[in-house]
Amino acid sequence: MGEATPQRVVTRTEGPTVVLLGAGRVATHLAPALVRAGVRIVQVWSRTEAAARCIAEPLGIPYTADLEEVAADADIYIACVADGALPCVAEKVVTMAGKRPLYLHTAGSIGMELWQQCGAERYGILYPLQTFSKERGVDMRRVSLFVEASDEEALECTEALAHALSDKVFRADSKRRARLHIAAVFACNFANAMYGAAHRLLDEEGIPFEVLMPLIDETAAKVHVLAPREAQTGPAVRGDKGVMQGHMEALAHDEELREIYALISNYIEKTRL
Amino acid sequence: MGEATPQRVVTRTEGPTVVLLGAGRVATHLAPALVRAGVRIVQVWSRTEAAARCIAEPLGIPYTADLEEVAADADIYIACVADGALPCVAEKVVTMAGKRPLYLHTAGSIGMELWQQCGAERYGILYPLQTFSKERGVDMRRVSLFVEASDEEALECTEALAHALSDKVFRADSKRRARLHIAAVFACNFANAMYGAAHRLLDEEGIPFEVLMPLIDETAAKVHVLAPREAQTGPAVRGDKGVMQGHMEALAHDEELREIYALISNYIEKTRL
């Protein structure tokens, strides 16, 4: 049978084995993306067993909630844990698995020196610039991934892994990554907060948030072709004091949104020149 | 020939004639959308002749820069002029064209009583909730249009015009429209200002703004399926003081963005509960 269908005999080039540490938002999206990319995840660890199972079971991967049980012989360890938990997790895992593996983390705001301090020799960062919610799938191929590593060989391994996941891989040192992270907070987290403010204002009048969708979509689509400065519209960029004054009065009931309105309008007015 | 091809004889039901007042961003998008919808624009007026020509000429419509020359016999006058210019334009046009026509304006923040004060009897508002830039086409069928009018008959005329343009037509009185306008300032103008802040931060490091596109797109796409509050990610909603402190320090060179960072982060932290 094997001889009759030689075309079905796949010579599998075994790639590196990966242990995924963490079961939060990033891990939830990274695990299936890695599997789709043909990367062999040999284990998922999370402090919470239910969270680890939630990611690992559908993918048929072993999991554990005990750091002592983490496989010590994997080629790559990817830590996607909360920033505060990373030092502790890193130290335990390096102590167990030693100097040979490549250690990566996905947090944009923590330097890779952390791994060196734990005794690692090959380490780096795989920073996905995306907003991950557990409820919603993300096409990892369209996510910008920023990589950095301890040396050229580790960087090549990290880049190979990144390219297997995404079409948008960039090198970025910690200074650039820090800047990217802050920029992402503005472009994503703060933009979403503005959607949230709009939602709150419409809710009070019983107007469905959906009426804003074409506007939100167009606002995002516009900056694909125009710089945000050129795309800016509204009373502040027009210097329309009358409309702004009216809006400030209409926000008299909501001191928080009033303050935001004043500050951002002022920022737009100042930067339009 | 007419007898041989009877199927090509179109019995044209002549709809209302429209004069478009203004040649700014709204008029630039409204004029071709009206023409596509089969509405007969008989004239375009703008204070600036070049601007009027720019809109009217490609559509084969007469234009003028002289308010005295505006056609007095149209059925509908649509004013898409700057808020400050509207009272003056409205008064002159109503004085010329009298009580018979339907007078509409597209400004969300000006009440329709303006037309009554000028002596009009049939008037209303056709408020497009969208961000219009001259450089970029907009599919008017996907733009939410909010209508209001002086009486039921005028409302029906306004709605008929709106339905000819868009699939999303809603009635909204001035109170709801005012609220929509403020919500739009947050969801569009302020979201774009956040893109602008990110652009500024990346520019300083020589990082192309394009790396943020997948993030910006996903942030907008997410609120189609999750409320903004549920979609919120980032250090503020996680209460991650360490990351926020680091970002505040990294923004030491930019007092404006520092202030925005602190205020919006605080807003996100407060509203996550």
Distance CA B82, CA B26 (A): 10
Highest-confidence segment of A129-133, B117-121, B232-236, B239-243: B117-121
Distance from CA of A253 to the nearest CA of B (A): 13
Cβ distance A178 to B246 less than 8 Å, yes or no, reads yes
Cβ distance A234 to B186 less than 8 Å, yes or no, reads no
Residue A21 has pLDDT above 60, yes or no: yes
Distance from CA of A106 to the nearest CA of B (A): 14
Cα angle B175-B127-B224, degrees, rounded to a multiple of 5: 85
Distance CA B19, CA B52 (A): 12
- Rg (C-alpha) for chain A, rounded Å, is 23
Report CA-CA distances (Å) from A233 to A79, A237, A269, B168, B185.
Answer: 42, 6, 11, 22, 9
| A250 → closest Cβ in B178, B264, B268 | B178
In terms of residues, how long is chain B?
273
| B138 → closest Cβ in A170, A218, A243 | A218
Give the pLDDT band of residue A90 (cuts 50, 70, 90): very high
Give the pLDDT band of residue A246 (cuts 50, 70, 90): very high
Residue B9 has pLDDT above 60, yes or no: no
Distance from CA of A162 to the nearest CA of B (A): 15
Distance from CA of A198 to the nearest CA of B (A): 4
* The two three-digit tokens of residue A146, written as one number: 């920023």
Distance CA B174, CA B169 (A): 15
pLDDT given at position A7: 41
| B207 → closest Cβ in A180, A185, A237 | A180
pLDDT given at position B136: 78
Largest pairwise CA distance in chain A: 83
* Position A187, amino acid: A
Residue B121 has pLDDT above 60, yes or no: yes
pLDDT given at position B84: 87
Cβ distance B246 to A189 less than 8 Å, yes or no, reads no
Least Cα distance to B146 among B113, B180, B117 occurs for: B180
pLDDT given at position A12: 43
Sheet containing A144-149, strands listed edge to edge, beginning at the edge strand earlier in sequence: A63-64, A40-45, A17-21, A76-79, A102-105, A122-129, A144-149, A168-171
pLDDT given at position A1: 37
* The two three-digit tokens of residue A237, written as one number: 């960029």
| CA atoms within a 13 Å half-sphere pointing along the CA-CB vector of A156 | 2
Q: Which residues on chain B are in Cβ contact (under 8 Å) with A109? A: 235, 243, 246-247
Cβ distance B129 to A212 less than 8 Å, yes or no, reads yes
Cβ distance A247 to B217 less than 8 Å, yes or no, reads no
Cβ distance B191 to A216 less than 8 Å, yes or no, reads yes
Q: Which residues on chain B are in Cβ contact (under 8 Å) with A230? A: 133, 135
Identify which has the larger pLDDT, B124 or A6: B124
pLDDT mean over A65-88: 95
Q: What value does the mean pLDDT of chain A take? A: 92
Cβ distance B271 to A109 less than 8 Å, yes or no, reads no
Tell me what ipTM this predicted complex has: 0.82
Report CA-CA distances (Å) from A41 to A18, A76, A135, A201.
Answer: 5, 9, 22, 45
pLDDT mean over A16-43: 95
| CA atoms within a 13 Å half-sphere pointing along the CA-CB vector of B42 | 15
- Min mean pLDDT across A16-25, B12-21, B98-107 is at B12-21
Residue B171, phi then psi, degrees to nearest 5: -85, 140
Residue A8 has pLDDT above 80, yes or no: no
Cβ distance B233 to A199 less than 8 Å, yes or no, reads no
pLDDT mean over B20-33: 95
Residue A53 has pLDDT above 90, yes or no: yes
pLDDT given at position A14: 73
Domains and CATH numbers, chain B: 6-172 (3.40.50.720), 180-271 (1.10.1040.20)
pLDDT given at position A219: 96
Q: Which residues on chain B are in Cβ contact (under 8 Å) with A211? A: 129, 144, 168, 170, 180
Identify which has the larger pLDDT, A14 or B68: B68
| A198 → closest Cβ in B186, B251, B268 | B186
Q: Which residues on chain B are in Cβ contact (under 8 Å) with A252? A: none
Identify which has the larger pLDDT, B1 or B68: B68
- Do residues A260 and B267 touch, judged by C-beta distance below 8 A? yes
Distance from CA of A174 to the nearest CA of B (A): 12
pLDDT per position as a tens digit, A202-225: 999 999 999 999 999 999 999 999
For an interface test with B, which of A139, A148, A215, A268 has the most B Cβ atoms less than 10 Å from its Cβ? A215
pLDDT per position as a tens digit, B205-261: 999 999 999 999 999 999 999 999 999 999 999 998 988 999 999 999 999 999 999
Cβ distance B240 to A25 less than 8 Å, yes or no, reads no
**Helix/strand number for chain A, H first, E second:** 12, 8
- Closest alpha carbon within chain B to A218: B131
pLDDT mean over A171-191: 94
Cβ distance A238 to B209 less than 8 Å, yes or no, reads no
3-state helix, strand, coil in chain A (%, to 5): 50, 15, 35
pLDDT per position as a tens digit, B155-176: 999 999 999 999 999 999 988 9
Cβ distance B243 to A213 less than 8 Å, yes or no, reads no
Give the pLDDT band of residue B5 (cuts 50, 70, 90): very low
pLDDT given at position B135: 75
pLDDT given at position B273: 58
Residue B12 has pLDDT above 80, yes or no: no
pLDDT given at position A60: 96
Residue B7 has pLDDT above 50, yes or no: no
pLDDT given at position A273: 58
Cβ distance B222 to A133 less than 8 Å, yes or no, reads yes
